[in-house]
Structure 1
Amino acid sequence: MAQGSFQHFISFTLLLLCSKPGLGSGCVEKERQALLDFKQGLVDDFGILSSWGNEEDRRDCCKWRGVQCSNRTSHVIMLDLHALPTDMVYKYQSLRGRISSSLLELQHLNHLDLSLNDFQGSYVPEFIGLFSKLRYLNLSEAHLAGMIPSHLGNLSNLHFLDLSRNYGMSSETLEWLSRLSSLRHLDLSGLNLDKAIYWEHVINRLPSLTDLLLHDSALPQIITPSALSYTNSSKSLVVLDLSWNFLTSSVYPWLFNLSSSLVHLDLSLNQIQGLIPDTFGEIVSLEYLDLFFNQLEGEIPQALTSTSLVHLDLSVNQLHGSIPDTFGNMTSLSYLDLSLNQLEGGIPKSFKNLCSLQMVMLLSNRLTAQLPEFVQNSLSCSKDTLEVLVLSWNQFTGSFPDFTGFSALGHLYIDHNRLNGTFPEHIGQLSQLEVLEISKNSLHGNITEAHLSSLSKLYWLDLSSNSLALELSPEWTPPFQVGYLGLLSCKMGPNFPDWLQTQKDLFGLDISNSSISDVIPSWFWNLTSKLIKLRIANNQIRGRVPSLRMESAVVIDLSSNRFEGPIPSLPSGVRVLSLSKNLFSGSISFLCTIVDGPLSYLDLSDNLLSGALPDCWQQWQDQLQILNLANNNFSGKLPHSLGSLVALQTLHLYNNCFLGKLPSSLMNCTKLRLVDMGKNRFSGEIPTWIGERLSDLVVLSLRSNEFHGSIPSDICLLKELQILDFSRNNISGTIPRCLNNFTAMAQKRIYSVIAHDYLALSIVPRGRNNLGITPRWAFISGSFDIIATYVDSALIPWKGGEFEYKNILGLVRSIDLSSNKLSGEIPLEITKLMELISLNLSRNHLNGPIPSMIGQLKSLDVLDLSRNQLDGKIPSSLSQIDRLSVLDLSSNNLSGQIPSGTQLQGFEASSYMGNPELCGSPLKTKCQEDETAQTSPTSDGNEDDLQDDEFDPWFYVSIALGFLVGFWGVWGTLVLKSSWSEAYFRFLNKIKDWFF
């Protein structure tokens, strides 16, 4: 017994010596010192390592934050310093600096996590490959760069490896992975692997791999492999993410060889074309399938619906046909997204079998179901589970559905459909509703407090573009705090809605065209501090606008009201600013206070603004695309800095008092598509650089100015030009013969409105479900939404008046050189402009004949050649233009007969007046040929022949015989054959019924 006790004592003593090598400290001394050396290489802005080396835990590093030691040996076995999120989105409490080689002392480390920190572009240390016991390594999103060290292939015990989202990191080969035979989880998402060919062969040699994440890794295309490459292929994969790699359908053979165990498959954001293979239906274990944003075509295969899918995303493809009836077989389905395809028809009745649906998104298809029937029948089984329903931009019809009983519904999007009828009060029973989007339908009636009083969680409300009227008491206090409120074209006036002052969280407000004719109360401007988008256009709101303290503002639209006084100071971050059609006065020097702002859309037209333009436009040189200052009282010369707006596409300066020459700096604005400088006092010659540098011009109007000299032939370089207006100037010389180079006027093409969409970061409604509130297609253009659309317009003289063309501006093809001092002949080349709709060369000194081929201008609607010195005959081809509605050839030297034809004779005589030698209808002057034709026939001595012809008896006999044969040939047959007569009269009855 004594000997046994002694042996126990020796064993216990040895154990103490082995477990306490730090001589009484809580961890191994050299490892403690290694951690302190590691700390020295870091910047700790958030006090993350404050416990490292403090007085209380100075000796025991096992108690330091992020450090874990072995209970048996006290060696450090885990170092977990991953950054923690802050209250701000995408912001973390992170460390900065470098990874010190002192960590090499931690040879017993099996878990290392330094993710989400900032190592400032440094390389992954090669010494990490010496941690032979490491099982878990996470360096994701740690701002590392450079090549992945192949030494990581030495970590033969590694089970988990995550290097993802280090966007400066790359690898030319993945061969080093093949030595990690124990690897189960691999995430290289966001790394550059574009040179790692045959990556799929390496994956095949990882027998234990269950999770493979290669999202956004620039993977090379799979070269169609031979059957031999599958010999040692891994069959263990459960999760596979190859999204955002531009892979093609060549991935299918390799993929389907791995498919026996797949549960989660993400192939979204690739370039996979063709039909969806039926083979997907053979992956019986598949629960998650994402094919979002590819180039898939054809119909949705029925084989796909034989799986046990929980999540199915086929959105943003080119699928067509109807939704298969077999969808009801996927009874476990909770997430369904078929948005942005070309699906049509109704919704299968089998949807009633889907009792687990949480999100249904069918946005932007061609679906035509009766919406009330779809909701009540097809979605009835998922009343208790459905959280998100997105049916926007379809052709759903019927009244507003009854959503009574949909207790979980939080997001409802049914905008841009064809719903009619009234907006029901039962919507107020949806107590979980956060988003209600019903804009762009045909709903009507009144919205009362009963519709909204129970929606305490409502965060997004858009009732715009219906025929609704808000009958809400000014004293009403809404139960919600909305972030976005869209009431465009909802009648709210005449008084400004006082209940708005309760909404403290607004980031978007649109109450345009809402029949308000009131002064905005002072409390309203206090609400705007958080606004990103403010639109109160098309009302009759009056008064002055105070300084706007909207530091987050992106869109401000106060247009078409009665605001007066000077324009207030504006937030520096505004991108879209429209103050047009008001009574603002004074200068616009305030623009110079907006330094380095993102302004891209500025419309101050139709006000009472005056003074010279400020000379500080260079601060928006890469941003400003639309500048509209038309119909004001601006004066002076254009500032040189205006030419620094290299992104400018539209420049409206019409109807001001500008003078002087056009600054040569404007030649730098090479993206200009529309220039309207009409009705000013610009002078000098038309610059040649317009044709040489502004090659994208579609509309060019310099009318009603003081330009002189000739039209430069360089103008003919504007192949995209559709509207050219130099009228009412002092231009002389001849019309260039090269006008046939205006390709847009000579060739048929697809007409388009000259429009610009302005984008800003989308506002994602807050949500409370675990599926994600916003479908991923909402983020595909960088989380952008269209926040404003500007459609260009132009004032064009037309048929004796002046009209603004906007939505159909892209259809107009016009040349107006009238009221100048042009001389010479009308060039024949002008008849090559086959798509020309209006041609006005009046009030010049043109001579010679009208081109004989003018009839080639088949699209011509307006032709004015009046008040020139044209001579010769009117070309007969002119009568072939059947669309011509306005014609003026008056006050010339034309002669001869007006060509016959209903087209030319249909105009008033005033169209031809002032041509003394012109004759024929509709003029009263008869041509000599007409007078000769009206002389008596007896004068040529053939009176006897005429009388013989008039009284030829055989003529009348032949008429009588023809009548008898024709009449009885038909009616005699009907009388003799009763069946034929019955059929004939039945036919006559049918004709009568159809007619009525």
Structure 2
Amino acid sequence: MLLAILVNITGAFGSTTTRCTEPERRALLQIKGDLGDGWDNFLPSWGNEEEKRECCEWIGIRCDNKSGHVIRLDLSPSTLGHDLNDLLEGNLSSSLVDLPHLHYLDLSSIRFIKNSIPSFIGSLSKLRHLDLSSTSMIGKVPSQLGNLSSLQFLDLSRNDFLEIANMEWASHLSSLQLLDLSFTNLSFAHDWVHVVNNLPHLKDLNLAHSYLPDIIHPPLSFVNSSKVLAIIDLSANFNLSSSIFQWLFNYSHSLVHLDLSFCALKSSIPEAFENMAAVEYLDLSYNGLEGPIAQSFGNMTALSYLDLSDNGLDGSIPQSFGNMTALEYLDLSSNKLEGEIPKSIWRVCTLRNLQAFNNSLGGELHLSESSSRCAHFPLEHLDLGNNRIMGSLPNFTLYPSLMTLRLGPNKLDGVVSKSIFQLSKLETLDISENSVTGVISEADFSKLINLHILGLSSNSKLVFEISPDWIPPFQLKEINLGSLNLGSHFPEWLQTQKSYMVLNISNCGISGSIPDWFWFNHNVQGLTLSNNKTNYIIGGAVDIDLSSNQLEGSIPLFLPQIYFLNLFNNSFSSIKCNVTQFVSLRFLDISNNQLSGELPDCWSSAVEQVLNLASNNFIGKIPISIGFLTGIGTLHLSNNHLTGNLPSSLRNCVLLKILDVGENNLSGPIPTWIGKSQTNLVVLSLRSNNFYGSIPSQLCHLQSLQLLDLSSNNLSSSIPTCLGNITAMKIISSGPYIGSPIPYFARIDPSKPFANDKLSLVWKGLVNELKNLGLLMNIDLSSNKLIGKIPGEITELVELVSLNLSRNNLSGGIPKEIGRLKSLDVLDLSKNHLSGRIPSSLSQVSRISTLDLSNNSLSGKIPTGTQLQTRDAAAYFGNPELCGEPLSKKCPSEEGPTTSGATKDHGDDQEDQDQLITKGFYISSAVGFIVAFWGFCLALIFNKSWRYRYFKLLNKAEDWLYVTVAVNKAKLLRIIKS
């Protein structure tokens, strides 16, 4: 027996037999060879050397313990250890068919360039796991994949150019448990619902961002559908409609995870969600859901994650949310919710994250002040900013885990709660834009060692008492202390903060020089020191706002990485031009300074978005190099002393949306190339210059134009009739016109708002600086020498808000259809030679607030209408032939007997009214009579009961008429005889 044991031991240690079969080893080496030369570093154990002959020990390979056949080939990033962002390239080898025993194949994140999924994969009949995600596959999915009847896991996701015209092949995968086709193209796969319904073992379905078509015909049968489908992700499919809910509710018994975010669903939230008792994760964010949240929603007691943010939900937050005893994450932000946050929510012992910012929530905060219900409150993130919450800051003693506390802006008042400063884990504290009072000292911050974001701005009664030599216990990344009284000296404690990227200390009463050490922090990206009295500037931030200070001298050179620079409203007197210092600049506003001399002629491709040089003292011609700013979107040169023509080089600025050169001494005809090259223009302001000639018809090609101001020039000729073709003024546009306001660029910090653009223009007779340009549709051609009639086509611009044609030599009548301009707020036609009657349709413009028709030759009665009779009489002065309210002159028809003049006025009135009675009116009346008559006759012919009642009625009417006539005749004869 001992000998037998020794023999067995010797055999075990002395055997040199390998498990790897030679054909499969050769197949693996061929697969490596086809992948390319660069794979040696990732597959070092694969080779022909003697010590590498055991392929079952190669990286990514697993063999069956008994047969030795390769059953697993895994070349995924997690196995090979390479970065997902650094996709490996190669070719997919047909030698895979020589591994017929494969159960597991993962080739994810290998970039198979210009390769479609090979049909031979369908021959690997024993596959249970197939992962070809992120492999840059293109073309169609071969139907042979349907042969993989043992497949349990299939991932073809993140192949953007993979087209799946139908999913019939997937209906044969009867063992499938996970199907991931996210980030592919399923736009033509109208059978996807029916296929999914016939996968009896499916547990996990991911079709996110796959252009899913909507469910047109709901599936009729769920007999073979899965009873264990737990996870469904259909997010970012914009073609789906609310009909998707009806299909999903058939899986309410098994669903645990449901994601329908970013689907543009427009409906109310169905109450049937209350039946989905097993759901733990529900994301309906970024849709168009409307209406209130039903109280029955609180019946989903298994929920741990609920996101309803970025919808249009209104009403109050249901009290029943307090029943969700497993809830950890709740996001209701960016809706229209109002009312008070129910107290029941604060008693959910599992809640870790509550976000409800950007709503209209009011009332007070009633945080729990007793631990009787919960052993502790694990709340870590609380964001209720941008609401209308009132009252004092609550006590946060029972919430020691808080890391984020955002309560601004709201309407909170009272003394700042000292319990906030006991939250030692706090990383973000933002109570800005409230009315909080009290004193905050350096001692209050002693426990906030983890603080990264501090926002106390715009609490005007909050006192910030910090000594000059204070050394904070934290390192801040964002500091917002705007509109706090920080004292006249620059805050020295900022010298200890080495990591902040955003700093706002605007309007803090700081004066004097900015210390040199301040500019040594090269991490600064957003800097706002506006509305102080500082007088020295230099630095390396990329986003700098120093507007409304007392900075003077020459504008210094900033570091090359400067991105946003706002020096508006200072006292700078000169500018040095070095293009290489502005290679990254997107926004430059040096308007409203004291800059003089000629404009620098050194512009290249530096400023790519907004250049504002308005309201300075520049002289001379606009330099040709301005036209080299080919990427610029806004150019403001107004309110200077510029002369000469508009340089033709400006035609290169084809992306311009705003061109503002008003209030200068520019001359020459308006260039026709504006209408040919600058087709993206939204605002064109050439007002208060010396332009002459006609208004070029090419301006009518500016289909995005919303504001046209050519006032106070020397323009002659007539108004082009084609102005009525400007699309943006004819219909409410959803296109890329001015927003409210224009988001020309995002600042570096994505949490900061978009830049606002502004424009000076004459509005209601006064020069105003307007920022909300999206609300304007304006044409101002006033104070020129225009002649001819007001073109009737202009009444097609139904979105016009302001029309000013005053102080010209226009003649003829006011267009009869002027009443079509329902959005008019301002109409000024004064000081022309207009004649005829005021069209009665003008009384239908209900929104008009400023009207001036004075100093013309208008005649007749002012049409009756609230908007015309309630005007100041001065709006009609200088028209001797006008009469009626609000003028003191009465119309002849109101003074007694009719005169010939009154008859004429009456005739004009009748003519104005008769325009409504056209040939079409008579035709439609005749047709209506014929149809009604024959309809009545046919009813009598075919309906016996109607016919009987009708003739019976006639008989009664005949009898009544006979008796009435006979009686009255007798009475009349007696009266005559007497």
In which range does the TM-score fall when normalised by the shorter chain? 0.7 to 0.9
| Aligned-partner SS, 2:753 | strand
Q: Is residue 382 of structure 2 the alignment partner of residue 389 of structure 1?
A: yes
Match of 2:762 among 796, 800, 814: 796
| Aligned-partner SS, 1:525 | helix
Q: Is residue 179 of structure 2 the alignment partner of residue 200 of structure 1?
A: no
Measured after TM superposition, the shift of residue 638 of structure 1 is 3.3
Unmatched 5+ stretches in structure 2: 788-806, 890-978
Query: In structure 2, how many angstroms separate the alpha carbons of the residues matched to 1:128 and 1:189?
Result: 20
Measured after TM superposition, the shift of residue 357 of structure 1 is 0.9
Aligned counterpart, 1:294: 287
Match of 1:577 among 547, 551, 565: 565
Mean Cα deviation higher: 506-515 or 722-731: 722-731
The letter for the 1-side match of 2:589 is D
Mean Cα deviation higher: 99-108 or 382-391: 99-108
Does the C-alpha gap of structure 1 residues 98 and 588 become closer, same or farther in structure 2, counting only changes over 3 Å?
A: farther
| Aligned-partner SS, 1:319 | strand
Write the deviation string for residues 757-782 of structure 1: whole angstroms up to 9, x where unpaired.
3554886xxxxxxxxxxxxxxxxxxx
The letter for the 2-side match of 1:629 is L
Q: Is residue 145 of structure 2 the alignment partner of residue 159 of structure 1?
A: no
Does the C-alpha gap of structure 1 residues 49 and 448 become closer, same or farther in structure 2, counting only changes over 3 Å?
A: farther
Match of 2:403 among 397, 400, 410: 410
Q: What pairs up with 1:11-90 in 2 under 5 angstroms?
A: 24=17, 27-40=20-33, 41-42=35-36, 44=38, 47-53=41-47, 58-84=52-78
Aligned counterpart, 1:314: 308
Does the C-alpha gap of structure 1 residues 692 and 456 become closer, same or farther in structure 2, counting only changes over 3 Å?
A: same
Does the C-alpha gap of structure 1 residues 641 and 57 become closer, same or farther in structure 2, counting only changes over 3 Å?
A: farther
Identical counterparts, % of pairs? 42
Measured after TM superposition, the shift of residue 817 of structure 1 is 3.8
Answer whether contact 2:697 2:720 (CA < 8 A) is retained: yes
Measured after TM superposition, the shift of residue 237 of structure 1 is 0.8
Answer whether contact 1:727 1:820 (CA < 8 A) is retained: no
Q: Is residue 741 of structure 2 the alignment partner of residue 755 of structure 1?
A: yes
Answer whether contact 2:719 2:786 (CA < 8 A) is retained: no
Mean Cα deviation higher: 660-669 or 449-458: 660-669
Query: In structure 2, how many angstroms separate the alpha carbons of the residues matched to 1:57 and 1:639?
Result: 75
Aligned counterpart, 2:231: 239
Measured after TM superposition, the shift of residue 428 of structure 1 is 1.4
Aligned counterpart, 1:150: 143
Aligned counterpart, 2:639: 655
The letter for the 2-side match of 1:232 is N
Measured after TM superposition, the shift of residue 454 of structure 1 is 1.4
| Aligned-partner SS, 2:429 | strand
Answer whether contact 2:526 2:544 (CA < 8 A) is retained: yes
Measured after TM superposition, the shift of residue 68 of structure 1 is 3.5
Answer whether contact 2:36 2:90 (CA < 8 A) is retained: yes
Q: Is residue 612 of structure 2 the alignment partner of residue 628 of structure 1?
A: yes
Write the deviation string for residues 157-206 of structure 1: whole angstroms up to 9, x where unpaired.
32222222222222222222233222222211111112222122222222
Match of 2:204 among 194, 204, 211: 211
Answer whether contact 1:97 1:118 (CA < 8 A) is retained: yes
| Aligned-partner SS, 1:827 | strand
Measured after TM superposition, the shift of residue 698 of structure 1 is 6.7
Does the C-alpha gap of structure 1 residues 738 and 64 become closer, same or farther in structure 2, counting only changes over 3 Å?
A: closer
The letter for the 1-side match of 2:644 is G
Q: Is residue 667 of structure 2 the alignment partner of residue 683 of structure 1?
A: yes
Answer whether contact 2:509 2:533 (CA < 8 A) is retained: yes
Does the C-alpha gap of structure 1 residues 722 and 479 become closer, same or farther in structure 2, counting only changes over 3 Å?
A: same
| Aligned-partner SS, 1:562 | coil
Query: In structure 2, how many angstroms separate the alpha carbons of the residues matched to 1:716 and 1:106?
Result: 69
Answer whether contact 1:289 1:311 (CA < 8 A) is retained: yes
Answer whether contact 1:633 1:656 (CA < 8 A) is retained: yes
The letter for the 2-side match of 1:506 is Y
Match of 1:132 among 112, 125, 128: 125
Measured after TM superposition, the shift of residue 456 of structure 1 is 1.7
Query: In structure 2, how many angstroms separate the alpha carbons of the residues matched to 1:86 and 1:535?
Result: 48
Query: In structure 2, how many angstroms separate the alpha carbons of the residues matched to 1:355 and 1:377?
Result: 12
Query: In structure 2, how many angstroms separate the alpha carbons of the residues matched to 1:478 and 1:120?
Result: 55
Aligned counterpart, 2:242: 249
Answer whether contact 2:427 2:451 (CA < 8 A) is retained: yes
Does the C-alpha gap of structure 1 residues 121 and 305 become closer, same or farther in structure 2, counting only changes over 3 Å?
A: farther
Measured after TM superposition, the shift of residue 542 of structure 1 is 1.5
Does the C-alpha gap of structure 1 residues 641 and 250 become closer, same or farther in structure 2, counting only changes over 3 Å?
A: farther
Q: Is residue 595 of structure 2 the alignment partner of residue 611 of structure 1?
A: no
Aligned counterpart, 1:516: 510
Write the deviation string for residues 560-590 of structure 1: whole angstroms up to 9, x where unpaired.
2233454445566655432222344544643
| Aligned-partner SS, 1:336 | strand
Measured after TM superposition, the shift of residue 637 of structure 1 is 3.5
Match of 1:476 among 470, 477, 488: 470
| Aligned-partner SS, 2:419 | helix
Query: In structure 1, how many angstroms separate the alpha carbons of the residues matched to 2:102 and 2:730?
Result: 76
Q: What pairs up with 1:712-731 in 2 under 5 angstroms?
A: 726=710, 729-731=713-715
Q: Is residue 547 of structure 2 the alignment partner of residue 559 of structure 1?
A: yes
Write the deviation string for residues 535-556 of structure 1: whole angstroms up to 9, x where unpaired.
222222212425x3x5xx4x33
Does the C-alpha gap of structure 1 residues 854 and 728 become closer, same or farther in structure 2, counting only changes over 3 Å?
A: farther
Query: In structure 2, how many angstroms separate the alpha carbons of the residues matched to 1:56 and 1:691?
Result: 77
| Aligned-partner SS, 2:111 | coil
Does the C-alpha gap of structure 1 residues 852 and 127 become closer, same or farther in structure 2, counting only changes over 3 Å?
A: closer
Query: In structure 1, how many angstroms separate the alpha carbons of the residues matched to 2:721 and 2:98?
Result: 86
Mean Cα deviation higher: 232-241 or 499-508: 499-508
Does the C-alpha gap of structure 1 residues 584 and 214 become closer, same or farther in structure 2, counting only changes over 3 Å?
A: same
Measured after TM superposition, the shift of residue 233 of structure 1 is 1.9
Q: Is residue 329 of structure 2 the alignment partner of residue 329 of structure 1?
A: no
Aligned counterpart, 1:180: 173
The letter for the 2-side match of 1:435 is T
Does the C-alpha gap of structure 1 residues 864 and 537 become closer, same or farther in structure 2, counting only changes over 3 Å?
A: farther
Measured after TM superposition, the shift of residue 849 of structure 1 is 7.6
Query: In structure 1, how many angstroms separate the alpha carbons of the residues matched to 2:601 and 2:874?
Result: 43
Q: Is residue 333 of structure 2 the alignment partner of residue 339 of structure 1?
A: yes
Query: In structure 1, how many angstroms separate the alpha carbons of the residues matched to 2:679 and 2:111?
Result: 48
Does the C-alpha gap of structure 1 residues 356 and 873 become closer, same or farther in structure 2, counting only changes over 3 Å?
A: closer
Aligned counterpart, 1:921: none
Measured after TM superposition, the shift of residue 344 of structure 1 is 2.0
Query: In structure 2, how many angstroms separate the alpha carbons of the residues matched to 1:852 and 1:399?
Result: 63
Measured after TM superposition, the shift of residue 642 of structure 1 is 4.6
Match of 1:361 among 348, 351, 355: 355
Write the deviation string for residues 767-812 of structure 1: whole angstroms up to 9, x where unpaired.
xxxxxxxxxxxxxxxxx6553331413053876x755444589579
Aligned residue pairs total 851
Does the C-alpha gap of structure 1 residues 43 and 147 become closer, same or farther in structure 2, counting only changes over 3 Å?
A: farther
Does the C-alpha gap of structure 1 residues 737 and 128 become closer, same or farther in structure 2, counting only changes over 3 Å?
A: closer
Does the C-alpha gap of structure 1 residues 475 and 428 become closer, same or farther in structure 2, counting only changes over 3 Å?
A: same
| Aligned-partner SS, 1:755 | coil
Aligned counterpart, 2:414: 421
Match of 1:96 among 83, 89, 93: 89
Aligned counterpart, 1:450: 443
The letter for the 2-side match of 1:794 is S
Measured after TM superposition, the shift of residue 84 of structure 1 is 4.9
The letter for the 2-side match of 1:562 is Q
Query: In structure 1, how many angstroms separate the alpha carbons of the residues matched to 2:615 and 2:397?
Result: 54
Does the C-alpha gap of structure 1 residues 409 and 567 become closer, same or farther in structure 2, counting only changes over 3 Å?
A: same
Does the C-alpha gap of structure 1 residues 337 and 378 become closer, same or farther in structure 2, counting only changes over 3 Å?
A: farther
Answer whether contact 1:610 1:632 (CA < 8 A) is retained: no
Answer whether contact 1:114 1:138 (CA < 8 A) is retained: yes
Measured after TM superposition, the shift of residue 465 of structure 1 is 2.9
Measured after TM superposition, the shift of residue 101 of structure 1 is 3.5
Mean Cα deviation higher: 715-724 or 408-417: 715-724
| Aligned-partner SS, 2:193 | helix
